[in-house]
Amino acid sequence: MYVLYWSRGCGSFAPHAALNQVGASYEQVVVDLDSNQEYTEEFLARNPRAQVPVLTLPDGTIMTESVAMMIHIADCHPASGLLPEVGQTERAIAYRWLVFSVVNLYETGCRIEDTHHYSAKRSDYEGIRAKAHHDLDRYWEIVAEAIGEGPYLLGQRYSAVDICLLMLAQWHPEPDALVERHPNLGRLCDALRKRSAIESIWSLNFP
pLDDT tens-digit profile, the chain (207 residues) = 999 999 999 999 999 999 999 999 999 999 999 999 999 999 999 999 999 999 999 999 999 999 999 999 999 999 999 999 999 999 999 999 999 999 999 999 999 999 999 999 999 999 999 999 999 999 999 999 999 999 999 999 999 999 999 999 999 999 999 999 999 999 999 999 999 999 999 999 998
Classify the C-alpha dihedral 57-60-64-68 as positive or negative. Answer: negative
The alpha carbon of residue 150 and the mean position of all alpha carbons in its chain are separated, in whole angstroms, by 19
Exposed e or buried b for every residue in 43-74, given b needs 16+ CB within 10 A? beebbeeebbbbbbeeeeeebbbbbebbbbbb
pTM for this prediction? 0.95
Environment class of residue 147 by beta-carbon count within 10 Å: exposed (0-12), middle (13-18) or buried (19+)?
Answer: buried
